[in-house]
Structure 1
Amino acid sequence: MKLANEHDPLGTSAIQSRQGFAHFLNHLLVAYQSNGKDWENQKLGDFLEALAAYATDIDGYYRNISSADELVVNADVASWRVFADMLRGATIYE
């Protein structure tokens, strides 16, 4: 399992299953309970608006974090990882 890093603080790149996604959601909840006041989008409506925008723009995120030796994630192919990255992104997306 790939460890979290500066680009992947909640370890979303290792998510490959529904169980991994559920584990991520538990970590996201703990992060919210610990630091939710620091999230960009604290209200549900703001969070959902950011989630919709991030879902549209996530391919840019994947291009930005990719390197020559890293496989680019195809944001158009639904996966547990892409779902997790969208939720994580909505916590900071303006």
Structure 2
Amino acid sequence: MRRTTNPLDPSQVSTRDDFIAFILNMRDDFKRNPDSWENQDLANFLEAVAAWSAEMDTFYANQEKEAPKDVNWTLFAEILFAAKIYE
């Protein structure tokens, strides 16, 4: 992951290794700061993922950014599904 003052900055993720480090940093943040997380169980977390995905165009518009156009939704789905069964 590139040097940043915030290890939870998604804009710093551009490679598979960056993504892995980002996920592990999220895990560590949840362990250290659970009260800073709105969604503290898997069901609520997945619901928030779905809700944010449905509204992401609005998020980007509010940030005065263009929403990504070439999103690999199949890969996201495969990652989430694999986490269900992977040890």
State the TM-score bracket (shorter-chain normalisation).
0.5 to 0.7
Aligned residue for 1:77? Answer: 70
Contact 1:36–1:42 under 8 Å retained in 2: yes
Structure 1 residue runs of 5 or longer lacking an equivalent are: 67-71, 84-94
C-alpha RMSD of the superposition:
2.4
Instruction: Return the match for 1:41 from 23, 39, 54.
Output: 39
1:25, CA displacement in angstroms? 0.5
Matched, 1:3 2:1: no
Structure 2 gaps of 5+ residues are 77-87
CA contact under 8 A between 2:8 and 2:25: conserved in structure 1?
Answer: yes
Moved over 4 A (4+): none
Between structure 1 and structure 2, the one with the greater Rg is 2
Higher relative contact order (CA closer than 8 Å, sequence separation 6+): 1
TM score, norm. by length of structure 2:
0.66
Query: In 2, are the aligned partners of 1:10 and 1:27 still within 8 Å (CA)?
Result: yes
Count of equivalent residues: 72
